[in-house]
Chain A
Amino acid sequence: MQMPEPDAGVLARKARIVGRLRAVLPADAVIDAPEELRVYECDALTAYRCPPLAAVLPRTTEEVSAVLRLCWEEGVPVVPRGSGTSLAGGAMPTADSVILGVARMNRVLAADYDNRFVHVEAGRTNLSVTGAVEAEGFFYAPDPSSQLACAIAGNIAMNSGGAHCLKYGVTTNNLLGVRLVTMDGTVVTLGGPWGEPAGLDLLGVVCGSEGQLGVVTEAWLRILPKPEGARPVLVGFDSNEVAGACVSDIIKAGILPVAIEFMDRPCIRATEAFAKAGYPDCEALLIIEVEGSEAEISEQLARIRQIALAHDPVEFREAEDEDQAKRIWLGRKSAFGAMGQINDYMCLDGTIPVSSLPHVLKRIGELSREFGLDVGNVFHAGDGNMHPLILFNANTPGDLEKCEAFGAEILKLCVEVGGCLTGEHGVGIEKRDLMAVQFSAADMEAQMRVKDVFDPKWLLNPAKVFPLGASAGRRAG
C-alpha cells in the first residue's frame, strides 16, 4: 500500500512540535515515546502499520481546538482516531502525522427522553450510548458489529451501519448534530438536537467524510423507544437464486423485518464446524428478525412463513423461546470467528442491488477458483451489503497480494452491477485506489472541493479516500 513520503521538515521538527503539544495539553495527554506509539501504528486493518510522530488524547473540545490550531500552524498532518476499529485503515497514521484520539472524551452530556435525543462526547462507544438510555426504554439504533468497542466519532466518520439498518437506517439517519473542530481550530456547531438544519446540510456531508473535514467532539443522536420484543426465523434453501427471490418477495409484500441476514454454503459449513449452532447443510440460509409485541411478531412471521414456503425451503425454523432465538443468531454472530479459525481472512464490504445477488455469488465462486482462494459470503441481504470473507495465509509469501487482487475484482463486480465499493466500512486506504472504478474525475473533484473548503491545506487524514494521484496537487499545496 503506497503512502505519501513523510514530510522531512516535520520529522526534523519533532521535538519542537511535541514541545508545543505539551504546552497546550496536560502531561498525560501527549505520547511520543516510540514504544508507546506502537499502539497507534494501525487500526483493525492490521496488514499495514506505521507509527505516528506523536499521539494526543485531549479531554475537551478546547484542547482539540488548540492541538489542531498548532498542527495547522506547523503544517503537521493529523489523523483522527476513535477506537481504532476501522477495517479500512481510516485511522492509520503516517510517520509525519499526529494521531488525535478522542477516547477520553466519553461523557454523556444530556439524555432527553421527552425530545428523544442523547448528547454525548464523541469518544463514547456505540454500545454504551444505548447503555446510557436503556433503563428508560430507549436505544441508539446503528449497531456495527464492533459496537462494544467502536466510538461514535468513528461511526460518524465512516457513517457506520449494522445489521438492523434495513429498518432504522445508518448513522447519518440517526445523527442530529455535531460539534466539529476544523483544522485551523475553529469550533463549529452543525445541526442540533432539533434535527433539521436551517440552511445547507453540512452535517450530512461531514457524516461519512472519514475524518477529513474536521474532528467531531460532541454529537446529538436520535434515540428510539425499544420495541416490545423481537424474534428470528431461520430459512434454508438449496439455491442462492431462490433465497434471493424470497428476500425480494418479503420486501415487496411490505413486511419490514429489522434484519435479513444471508449466509452461503462455505460460510454455513465453517460456522457449523466452529459454533455448532445446528444449521442445516444447505446452499443458502436466511435469518430474518421481526419486532413488536407477541401478537405483532406472530402476525409478521405468519406472513413470512407463507412467502418462504412458496419457495420450497429445505428448512423453516421459528424460534419458540429465547434459547432457540439465541441459537439461530449464534452461527451468524460466530461467522467471522469461524472463518478466522480456518485461516487469515480479508473482509470485503461492497453493496449490490439485491436483484444481482445470484449473479454476483456465481461470479465470486468462479473468481474463487481462478485465484485459488476460498471465500465465504455473509451479508445483510435486505440492503444488499455483502461481506465476502476471502481466506488466505498471511505467512505464505504473495498470498496477501493475491487476496487483495481477488478482493479488488469482487469490488469491481459490485460496481459493475450497479452497487458500490463499500457499504459501511469506508474507503480509508483500503479502497482508495479503486475509487476511479466507481467515480469519474469530475465526481471526485466535486468531493475534494468540499475538503478544500473545510481543510484548505489538506492536513486532516490527507492520504485517505481519494487515489493519491488524484489528490497529489492538493496535498502538496
Chain B
Amino acid sequence: MRPVTEAELAEAVAGASGPLLVRGGGTRTLGHAVGEVLETGGLSGVELYEPGALTLVVRAGTPVAEVEAVLAGERQRLAFEVPDLRGLLGREGVSTIGGVVAANASGPRRVQVGAARDACLGARFVDGAGMVVKNGGRVMKNVTGYDLVKLMAGSRGTLGVLTEVSFKVQAIPEAEATLVIEGLGDAAGLAALRAALGSPFDVSGAARHSGRSLVRVEGMAGSVAYRVTQLRARLGGDVTVAEGAESAALWREVRDVVPMRDKPGEIWRIVTLPTAAAEIVAQLEGEALWDWGGGLIWLVLPHGKGADLAAAVAGRGHATLVKGQGGPVFPPEAPEVAALVAGLKAKFDPRGILNRGMMG
C-alpha cells in the first residue's frame, strides 16, 4: 500500500486485517518485522519553510535528498547530519525524512547539536487504530502537553506512522576545518577526542578510524582558523588540517560508516561512555570506527560474539546488531522498562499490527 494523503493512510491502517510493515524507503530498517508493506513515500513535499525562523515542515515520505536540496537553496541544513547507511547495510532505495526520524538517525554533529529527535519540533502521525494525532508544533519552544514527538522519534513505526514532521534547521556555516591527528594509538587517539570536546572551542565532530583521529570545527572563517590553532596546540600527535570540501568528505565517510562497508562479519552499533570506548574494542578485538568522541562505536565482529559484547557493554551502554545473522537485534530492556514499553505499545497499537516484532 502506498497512500498519498494522511487520510488515506489513516484509512489503510484502520482497515488493515493483519500486520503492517511500515516503511519509508526501507534504507535503514532493522529487525525482523513482517507484514503487508505500508509505504509512506506517497506523502511527499514541503508544507512550510521559513528560513528566517529556521523552521521546516515536511511530509514524512519526502526524500531526504529533496529536503536537503530545499534547505541548501537557502544555505541551510538539518543540523544533525543524516547518515546514509545504504552502502553499509547493502540497501537500495530512497531514504525518506520520516524514516530518519523513526530511526532517530543522527550523524557526527550529534556531539554539538544533539540527535535527530532534538531537531524535531512537531509531528503528525497515525496510530495503530488509524487515529490521526498531532503533537508539538513548529516553534522552537513549546511545552504545551506531553512531548510525544520524542517518543515517536526512534520508535521505528511501532507506535504510529509518521505523516509530517517539523524541524528546527541550521544555517550552513561559512567555513569548516578538520584536524587530522596521526601517530596515536587508539587509547591516546580517543583521549584526544575527549580533550577536544572538553575544550571551549565548540567542536562539531570527534571521530576515529583507520588509525586517525578527526576533530572538526565550523563557523565564521576567522573563528575556525582561531580554534584550529588553539586545538592544534592542545592535542598531541602529528596534526594536519583539512579545510572546506576536503574536510566535508572526511565527515561523510564517518557519517555513512564507509570504512566498515563490505567487511566480513557482523556490524554492531554501540552507544557507550567515551571513556569506555577504547577498552570495549580492545576487549573484543574487533575493528572499529568511533564517533561522538567515542560515545558511538561501529564495531565489526565475527558471528557469535553477541554475548561477549553484551557482557562488555553491560552497565555502560548498549549494543544493536545492525548487520548480521539472526539473534535479537535490539538489546533487552530492564523488566520495569519493558513493562512500560509494552503498555505504550498496547495503547497506541492495540492490535499489535505496526512493525510487529521489530524492536523485540
In the complex, what residues of B have CB within 8 A of residue A172's CB?
Answer: 118, 147, 150
Q: Are A202 and B114 in contact (CB under 8 A)?
A: no
Nearest Cβ distance between residue B337 and chain A, in whole angstroms? 6
A366 interfacial by beta-carbon distance below 8 Å: no
A202 in contact with B226 (CB, 8 Å) = no
Chain A contacts with B in 192-209, Cβ cutoff 8 A: 192-205, 207-209
**CB closest chain-B residue, reference A197:** B154
Q: Which residues of B contact A192 (CB under 8 A)?
A: 317
CA–CA, A169 to B75, complex, Å? 22
Q: Kindly provide the distance from the CB of A324 to the nearest chain B CB, expressed in whole angstroms.
A: 23
Interface residue? B1 (CB, 8 A): no
**Nearest chain B CB to A126's CB is how many angstroms away?**
16
Q: Given A198-B333, A228-B200, A450-B148, are A173 and B226 neighbors across the interface (CB < 8 Å)?
A: no
B275 and A114 contacting across the interface, CB-CB below 8 Å: yes
- From known contacts A208-B147, A425-B143, infer whether A199 and B330 are also in contact, taking CB-CB under 8 Å: yes
- A114 near B198 (CB under 8 angstroms)? yes
The answer for the CA separation of A440 and B142 in the assembled complex, in Å, is: 17
Q: Whole-angstrom distance from the CB of B298 to the nearest CB of chain A?
A: 14
A192 to B316, CA, bound (A): 8
Q: Is the CB of B226 within 8 A of A253?
A: no
> Which of A186, A201, A256, A384 contacts B150 (CB under 8 A)?
A201
B133 to chain A: closest residue by CB? A446
- Per the bound structure, the CA–CA distance linking A431 and B143 in Å amounts to 11
Selected contact of B133 from candidates A161, A256, A443, CB within 8 Å: A443
Bound together, the chains give a CA A354 to CA B117 distance in angstroms of: 22
CB <8 Å contact, A199 and B341: yes
Whether A453 lies near B347 (C-beta < 8 A) is: yes
Contact yes or no, A438 B337, CB < 8 A:
no
Chain B residues with CB under 8 Å of A420's CB are 137, 139, 142, 144
Q: Is the CB of A205 within 8 A of B146?
A: yes
Which one of A52-60, A244-252, A274-282 is at the interface?
A244-252
Determine whether the beta carbon of A202 is less than 8 Å from that of B151: yes
Asked whether B50 lies within 8 Å of A353 as measured between CB atoms, the reply is: yes
Nearest chain A residue, comparing its CB with the CB of B198:
A225
Does A227 make an interface contact (CB < 8 A)? yes
Q: Is the CB of B220 within 8 A of A300?
A: yes
User: Bound complex: CA of A426 vs CA of B141, how far in Å?
Assistant: 11
Is the CB–CB distance between A254 and B171 below 8 Å? yes
Closest to A414 in B: B139
Query: Which residue of A204, A421, A452 has the most chain B CB atoms within 10 A of its CB atom?
Result: A204
Complex Cα spacing A451 to B271, Å: 29
Complex interface bits, B38-68 against A, C-beta within 8 A gives 1, otherwise 0: 0000000000001111110000000000000
Task: Select from chain A the residue with minimum beta-carbon distance to B139.
Answer: A351
Answer yes or no: A271 CB below 8 A from chain B CBs: no
- Per-residue interface assignment for chain B, residues 65 to 95, with 1 indicating a CB less than 8 Å from any chain A CB and 0 otherwise: 0000000001100000000000000000000
B188: CB under 8 A from chain A?
A: no
Using A199-B359, A353-B50 as known contacts, say yes or no to A418 and B138 having CB atoms under 8 A apart. yes
Is B172 an interface residue when CB atoms closer than 8 A count as contact? yes
- Across the interface, do A194 and B317 meet the contact criterion of CB distance under 8 Å? yes
> In the complex where A201-B154, A202-B337 touch, is A446 in contact with B144 (Cβ < 8 A)?
no
Taking CB atoms, residues of chain A closer than 8 Å to B331 are 198-199
Near A by CB (< 8 A), chain B positions 121-136 give 127, 131-135
Chain B CB within 8 A of A30 CB: no
Interface bits A410-439 vs B (CB < 8 Å: 1, else 0) = 000000001111111111000100010011
Q: How far is the CA of A115 from the CA of B140 in the complex (A)?
A: 28
- With contacts A114-B194, A303-B220 taken as known, whether A202 is within 8 angstroms of B341 at the C-beta atoms is yes
Q: How far is the CB of A129 from chain B (nearest CB, A)?
A: 17
Q: Is B199 an interface residue (CB 8 A)?
A: yes
- Cβ proximity bits B318-339 to A, threshold 8 Å, 1 near / 0 not: 1010000000001101101100
Is the pair A201, B172 in contact by a Cβ cutoff of 8 Å? no
A226 near B295: Cβ-Cβ < 8 Å = no
CA distance A203 to B135 in the complex (A): 16
- State how many angstroms separate the Cβ of A419 from the closest Cβ of chain B: 5
8 Å CB contact of A205 from B144, B151, B194, B200: B151
Which chain B residues lie closer than 8 Å to A440 at the CB level? 134
Does B211 interact with chain A (Cβ within 8 Å)? Answer: no
Q: Answer yes or no: A104 CB below 8 A from chain B CBs.
A: no
Task: Annotate A293-316 by CB proximity to B: 1 below 8 A, 0 otherwise.
Answer: 101100110010000000000000
Beta-carbon contact of A137 and B140 below 8 Å: no
Q: Tell me, yes or no, whether A46 is within 8 Å of chain B by CB.
A: no
Say if the beta carbon of A465 comes within 8 Å of chain B: yes
Q: Is A292 among interface residues, defined by CB-CB distance under 8 A?
A: yes
CA distance A428 to B348 in the complex (A): 25
Residues A354 and B145 in contact in the complex (CB < 8 Å), given A201-B154, A225-B200: no
Separation of A172 and B226 alpha carbons in the complex (Å): 31
Contact A115–B151 (Cβ < 8 Å): no
Q: Contact check: which of B74, B133, B137, B337 meets A419 at CB < 8 Å? A: B137
In the complex, are the beta carbons of B143 and A248 less than 8 A apart?
no
State whether the Cβ of A385 lies closer than 8 Å to any Cβ in chain B: yes
Closest residue to B294 on the A side, CB-wise?
A115
Contact A256 B275 (CB under 8 A): no
User: Which of B138, B198, B348 has most A Cβ within 10 Å?
Assistant: B198
Chain A residues, CB < 8 A from B174? 254
The answer to whether A418 and B172 have CB atoms under 8 Å apart is no
Among A200, A252, A299, max chain B CB count under 10 A is at A200
Q: Are B146 and A209 in contact (CB under 8 A)?
A: yes
Indicate if the CB atoms of A204 and B117 lie closer than 8 Å. yes
* Beta-carbon nearest neighbor of A452 in chain B: B347
- Nearest Cβ in chain A — how far from B133, in angstroms? 4
In the complex, residue of chain A having the shortest beta-carbon distance to the beta carbon of B219: A296
Taking A225-B200, A385-B141 as known contacts, 13 extra A-B pairs with beta carbons closer than 8 A to each other, sorted by chain A number, are A116-B197, A187-B336, A189-B334, A199-B360, A200-B151, A204-B117, A226-B200, A248-B52, A252-B51, A300-B220, A303-B220, A384-B140, A443-B135
